[in-house]
Amino acid sequence: MVAITVNGRRRNVDADPSTPLLWVLRDDLKLTGTKYGCGVAACGACTVHLDGQPVRSCSVKLGDVGRKAVTTIEGLSTDGQHPLQKAWVEAQAPQCGYCQSGQIMQAAGLLSKTPNPSRDQIVRHMDGNLCRCGSYPQIVEAIERAAKGGRS
Amino acid sequence: MSTSKISNAKISRRAALSGGAGLTFAFTLGVDGDDAAAQRPFVAGQPAPKTLNAYVKIAPNGIVTIFAPAAEMGQGIKTAIPLVIAEEMDAEWSRVQIEYAPVAPAYAHPVLRSQQVVGSLSLRGYWMPARTAGAQARRVLMEAAAKRLNVPMAELSTEPGFVVHKASGRRLGYGEIARTAEVPATLPEIKPEELKPTSQFRLLGKDVGRRDVPAKTTGREIYSIDVAVPGMLYATVAYSPGRGIGFVSHNGADLNKMKGIVDVVKLAEGVGIVGSSTAAVLAARKALKVEWAKPQGAPVDSEQNRLAYLADAVNLEKKAVIGRPGGDAAATALEKTSAAMAAAAKTVSVDVTTDYVYHAQMEPVGCLASVTGSGPDTRVELWTGTQWATNAVETAARILGIPADQIPQKVKLNQLGMGGGYGRRIFNDYVSDAVALSMAVAKPVKMVLSREDDFANGRLRPMTAHRVTAGLDGAGKVVGVRHRIAADTVVPYLYNQARMDAQKGVDHIVFAGADMPYYDVSNHMAEHIYEDHGVRTAAWRGIGAGANTFAVEALIDELAAAAGQDPYAYRMALIKNERAKKVLEAVARLADWSKKRPEGVGLGIAFGRLGLPIPPVGESMAATVAEVTVDRATNRIKVSNLWCAADVGLPVQPKNIQAQIQGSLIWGLSTALKERTTIKGGAIAEANYPDYDIIRQSDMPGIKIEVLRSGDVPLPVGELGLSTVIPAVAGGFFAATGKRIRNAPFLSARVRAALTA
């Protein structure tokens, strides 16, 4: 049994400490908002926060989480009204939507450190998150909108 | 709307009445399995057939449930078709909820005759049936209200959610009417002229917001990879390197000893691993060692083959199947075109190639299948995102020996949104695998491919090589065009050999975009040299147009240069269609084509279109300008801007059209600059995303899209613009450097070769 804190709650997980956190979240804790895209930290679909920092959960072992707080897309807000989520809807950013949890979590990590990022900073920060549908411009638009406090 | 609740129950009008549970409308699309029927113009008011399926039901509280016949993969269709119905119904959009329709003949696409989401044809195909369905619902509500208010129908009108009697100021809500109304035994016939004039549209043409978007921002949208049912096991599949290749041996017996592993299962082209968690089966997958059977013939080397394809395209002795012109004209095409070429004063030839590409959809393919019962009681329930719902249930039925007429009772599909389709999810191998695995362990099994196996099982866009030759008369008029395409076949593998035979060997996936209907050229023919080396192929966004439009537009550029003309001016003179001219003019204006760019900055322009020659589907059109520079130190092409003008017919959801065309342009750009799949020693060399370069955030050019309206019918959008990007970039490269580049993607080695040629 391994105990970790996920979205503010202490959870006990009956899984091997070598299990990738991604599968603990998805299969053990039924938090399927975090997605599997590649398993090798090359696409960003599995992005969650550890103590507020974006990490690729496919490449974090359960046993290495320790006391760090895990936040998933489900924990970003209780009601879908996080400024990024609202901005994402305004921009109609998601197409197939599969990469978007990871995109939003990555973006949240940026805004918590850099509340007013330049476009260049946004692009560099988000560059590791692939979007096959090509919603990149709307992602940037949404981040800029959220950074401005929801005003475009 | 993130979960799909699908009922296969036939909803009869009697049931709706007796239960007082609201009103159910049953509509037909006039689908009767007859070729002629499918190709009839989409006239409304087909008389209701014996079997009816519901598009609209209304609860007493006024909530309108509309059933979406076509599956969502990010193109917005789960919102758009219900929106069309709601428009004609005058439903209050905020009171509409959307569910997926079940798999049933009444929901078949009128042209495709199946529930299949392909070719950017969904909105166009369901346009008239959906409008008719909405209009019929409105008519029945008004007739019921007329009875209730005891007034003539002619005195009634509708406002969103209400039937209104203006003269007396009375109004009845749709839910209120639904509670007590009688649905007539014969549904009213709606003539096309009785549909709402487009000028009165309140919803269509304005952005209402896609219904699936909010759930996609909170992690609540459920994909195939996310579903779970009680007692479920997990599985993955190690896929063989090529079509028809199975395994010779494997160490599955060792895997059975690993923690959480339940079984190792033989599949036709792979090895299935079943266990108690995704992590367990993926870990076992890493430990799996398989000896695959040797392929027939030499193992594929794609780079060697590309040169061989080119040799085949150039060699007129190499047998080819003529696909354009189609029908009877094909028989005399070679004779006519050859004669024209022989009589030509001059010929101009262009050779181009395109590499294999992989869908790279972000969600690996997968499916949850639950097979229960045995013998004649065998049933199966499926949960998956598929582009071909009809085929998914038919495939499952075939594997389980369930007769076709028992599918509605014994095969249930829970359609989910897809984490990327792009053509990959037309091919339901993931359904077959999941069904086989569930049968093997007698439990529900959720099969998910690892990314590595999704790559290994990549069903690629064909590699192609083209020689396009134009014959010109003394005045420079194009009197003949011969387009030879050497390419892998797709239809026999995406569908089956029977379909290829029925099409007389014309692979419509390969031939898409090969003809030149809007250019003033005579005696055009296109032919396909089959290249079948055991590579798995399927439909990939844009299908053949991605390669063929490159070849055609490269030829046009060459003709322009031979005539000493600007590529835009040459196209404007050669194009004979008014819509096409408008689109070219618009993009030239958008890009400020005539403004001189600095030395080393080049503009290229290309024209393409999207649709089906089957009338009356119609074609949308796009023209793209690319702004190109070349870094001589790294031999890398940079595309700073893409401008695109697109004639989409009637725009239904403007923001979504922008998103789709943008996506298409990005896909085109990716094939122009970056992505390709290579095959070495008979296996796909790229193992995961680090090996497969696709457009990322930092690669994005500026993109400006201008949407033009023509007519009153929405035309295909989802793949529009993709085919124009490679040739526009090639044209920009020429303008910037004076050199031609002919082999996509334009990797740095190829740029270097082009610059030093």
Q: How far apart are CA A26 and CA A33, in angstroms?
A: 8
Which string of b and e fits B134-143 if b means at least 16 CB within 10 Å?
bbbbbbbbbb
Nearest to B553 by CA among B740, B332, B316: B740
For residue A73, how many other CB atoms are within 10 A of its CB?
Answer: 30
Residue of A38, A85, A129 lying closest to B451 (CB–CB): A38
Residue of A27, A85, A124 lying closest to B217 (CB–CB): A85
CA of B47: how far to CAs of B28, B132, B369, in Å?
8, 11, 38
Confidence at residue B521, expressed as pLDDT on a 0 to 100 scale = 98
pLDDT digits (tens, 9 = 90+) for B201-240: 999 999 999 999 999 999 999 999 999 999 999 999 999 9
Decide: B208 and B653 in contact? Cβ < 8 Å. yes
Confidence at residue B14, expressed as pLDDT on a 0 to 100 scale = 33
**pLDDT at residue B148 greater than cutoff 80:** yes
Instruction: Verify cis geometry, omega within 30 degrees of 0, for the bond prior to B102.
Output: no
Q: For the CA atoms of chain B, what is the radius of gyration? A: 27
Write out residues 318-377 of B within 8 Å (CB-CB) of A.
Answer: 360-364
Residue of A16, A27, A134 lying closest to B666 (CB–CB): A134
Write out residues 410-449 of B within 8 Å (CB-CB) of A.
Answer: 417-422, 448
SS3 for chain A, per residue?
A: CEEEEECCEEEEECCCCCCEHHHHHHHHCCCCCCCCCCCCCCCCCCEEEECCEEEEHHHCEHHHCCCCEEECHHHHCCCCCCHHHHHHHHCCCCCCCCCHHHHHHHHHHHHHHCCCCCHHHHHHHHCCCCCCCCCHHHHHHHHHHHHCCCCC
Read off the DSSP letter of residue B357.
Answer: B
The tokens describing A34, both together, are: 């975090």
Nearest to B309 by CA among B750, B756, B743: B743
Q: Nearest chain B residue to A84 by CA: give it.
A: B217
Decide: B723 and B716 in contact? Cβ < 8 Å. no
**pLDDT at residue B35 greater than cutoff 90:** no
What is the SS3 assignment for B587? helix
**Which pTM value belongs to this model?**
0.93
Write out residues 488-507 of B within 8 Å (CB-CB) of A.
Answer: none
Residues of A in contact with B360 (CB under 8 A): 132
Confidence at residue B618, expressed as pLDDT on a 0 to 100 scale = 87
pLDDT digits (tens, 9 = 90+) for B468-498: 999 999 999 999 999 999 999 999 999 999 9
Partners of B703 in beta bridges? B642
Give me the mean pLDDT over the B129-153 stretch: 94
Q: How far apart are CA B200 and CA B214, in angstroms?
A: 29
**pLDDT at residue B20 greater than cutoff 60:** no
Q: Is B757 exposed, middle or buried (0-12, 13-18, 19+ CB in 10 A)?
A: exposed
**Residue B167 backbone dihedrals phi, psi, to 5 degrees:** -60, -40
pLDDT digits (tens, 9 = 90+) for A52-97: 999 999 999 999 999 999 999 999 999 999 999 999 999 999 999 9
Q: Cβ–Cβ of B362/A37 closer than 8 Å?
A: yes
Residue of A20, A45, A100 lying closest to B217 (CB–CB): A100
Q: Cβ–Cβ of B234/A19 closer than 8 Å?
A: no
Contacts of residue B371, Cβ cutoff 8 Å, sequence gap at least 6: B378, B379, B380, B400, B435, B438, B439, B442
Measured in whole angstroms, the distance separating CA B514 from the mean position of its chain's CA atoms is 18
**Per-residue pLDDT band at A119 (split at 50, 70, 90):** very high
Partners of B354 in beta bridges? B464, B744
Write out residues 601-660 of B within 8 Å (CB-CB) of A.
Answer: 655-656, 659
Name the average pLDDT for chain B.
92
Partners of B380 in beta bridges? B371, B411
When scoring B1, B212, B216 by the number of chain A Cβ atoms within 10 A, the one with the most, hence best to mutate, is: B216
pLDDT digits (tens, 9 = 90+) for B634-656: 999 999 999 999 999 999 999 99
**Per-residue pLDDT band at B453 (split at 50, 70, 90):** very high
What is the SS3 assignment for B86? helix
Name the average pLDDT for chain A.
97
Say if B258 is an interface residue toward chain A (CB within 8 Å). Answer: no
**pLDDT at residue B32 greater than cutoff 90:** no
CA of B657: how far to CAs of A90, A133, B496, B645, B714, in Å?
16, 13, 33, 12, 11
DSSP calls for B210-260: -TTHHHHHTT----GGG---TT-EEEEEEEPSSTT--EEEE-HHHHTTSTT
Q: How far apart are CA B417 and CA A98, in angstroms?
A: 10
Residue of B74, B76, B219 lying closest to A101 (CB–CB): B219
Give me the mean pLDDT over the B281-295 stretch: 96
When scoring B207, B217, B236 by the number of chain A Cβ atoms within 10 A, the one with the most, hence best to mutate, is: B217
Straight-line distance from the first to the last Cα atom of chain A, in angstroms, rounded to the nearest whole number: 47
Decide: B65 and B32 in contact? Cβ < 8 Å. no
**Per-residue pLDDT band at B29 (split at 50, 70, 90):** very low
**Per-residue pLDDT band at B54 (split at 50, 70, 90):** low
Partners of B618 in beta bridges? B612
Q: Is B330 exposed, middle or buried (0-12, 13-18, 19+ CB in 10 A)?
A: middle
Confidence at residue B615, expressed as pLDDT on a 0 to 100 scale = 60
Contacts of residue B744, Cβ cutoff 8 Å, sequence gap at least 6: B352, B353, B354, B355, B550, B671, B672, B726, B730
DSSP calls for B163-179: EEETTTTEEEEHHHHHH
Give me the mean pLDDT over the B119-123 stretch: 96
Q: How far apart are CA B20 and CA B12, in angstroms?
A: 13
Residue of A19, A36, A98 lying closest to B420 (CB–CB): A98
When scoring B213, B218, B667 by the number of chain A Cβ atoms within 10 A, the one with the most, hence best to mutate, is: B218
Q: Nearest chain B residue to A95 by CA: give it.
A: B74
The CA distance from B83 to the nearest CA of chain A, in Å, is 17
When scoring A2, A47, A98 by the number of chain B Cβ atoms within 10 A, the one with the most, hence best to mutate, is: A98
The CA distance from A120 to the nearest CA of chain B, in Å, is 9
How many helices (H) and strands (E) would you count in chain B? 23, 28
Give me the mean pLDDT over the B365-371 stretch: 98
Q: How far apart are CA A98 and CA A105, in angstroms?
A: 13
**pLDDT at residue B49 greater than cutoff 70:** no
Contacts of residue B662, Cβ cutoff 8 Å, sequence gap at least 6: A134, A137, B703, B705
Straight-line distance from the first to the last Cα atom of chain B, in angstroms, rounded to the nearest whole number: 56
DSSP calls for B703-746: EEEEEE--SSSB---TTTTHHHHHHHHHHHHHHHHS----EES-
**Residue B591 backbone dihedrals phi, psi, to 5 degrees:** -90, -5
Which residue type sits at B259?
Answer: K
CA of B36: how far to CAs of B32, B41, B513, B713, in Å?
9, 10, 25, 22
Residue of A97, A130, A136 lying closest to B689 (CB–CB): A130
Decide: B424 and B494 in contact? Cβ < 8 Å. no
Write out residues 520-579 of B within 8 Å (CB-CB) of A.
Answer: none
Angle (CA) B684-B247-B278 rounded to 5° is 75
Q: How far apart are CA B13 and CA B140, in angstroms?
A: 13
pLDDT digits (tens, 9 = 90+) for B720-749: 999 999 999 999 999 999 999 999 999 999
Q: Cβ–Cβ of B217/A132 closer than 8 Å?
A: no
Residue of B209, B219, B694 lying closest to A132 (CB–CB): B694
**pLDDT at residue B706 greater than cutoff 80:** yes
Decide: B686 and B355 in contact? Cβ < 8 Å. no
Confidence at residue B6, expressed as pLDDT on a 0 to 100 scale = 25
**pLDDT at residue B553 greater than cutoff 60:** yes
Q: Cβ–Cβ of A100/B216 closer than 8 Å?
A: yes
Q: Nearest chain A residue to B216 by CA: give it.
A: A97
Q: For the CA atoms of chain A, what is the radius of gyration? A: 15
Q: How far apart are CA B84 and CA B124, in angstroms?
A: 11
Indicate the range of B564-573, B591-600, B616-625 predicted with least confidence.
B616-625
**pLDDT at residue B23 greater than cutoff 60:** no
Confidence at residue B181, expressed as pLDDT on a 0 to 100 scale = 82
Q: Nearest chain B residue to A99 by CA: give it.
A: B362
Confidence at residue B10, expressed as pLDDT on a 0 to 100 scale = 33
Q: Cβ–Cβ of B695/A134 closer than 8 Å?
A: yes
Nearest to B454 by CA among B698, B691, B670: B691
Is this complex scored with an ipTM above 0.95? yes
The tokens describing B64, both together, are: 């309108």
Q: Nearest chain B residue to A102 by CA: give it.
A: B219
Partners of B705 in beta bridges? B644
Q: Cβ–Cβ of A35/B419 closer than 8 Å?
A: yes
Read off the DSSP letter of residue B516.
Answer: -
Between strands B602-612 and B524-531, the pairing is unpaired
Residues of A in contact with B217 (CB under 8 A): 80, 84-85, 88-89, 93-94, 100, 104
Nearest to B546 by CA among B318, B732, B745, B324: B745
**pLDDT at residue B7 greater than cutoff 60:** no
Partners of B123 in beta bridges? none
Confidence at residue B185, expressed as pLDDT on a 0 to 100 scale = 78
Residues of A in contact with B450 (CB under 8 A): 39
Residues in chain B: 757
Q: Cβ–Cβ of B278/A130 closer than 8 Å?
A: no
Residue of B213, B216, B277 lying closest to A27 (CB–CB): B277
For residue A41, how many other CB atoms are within 10 A of its CB?
Answer: 18
Q: Nearest chain A residue to B446 by CA: give it.
A: A27
Confidence at residue A151, expressed as pLDDT on a 0 to 100 scale = 54
Confidence at residue B612, expressed as pLDDT on a 0 to 100 scale = 78
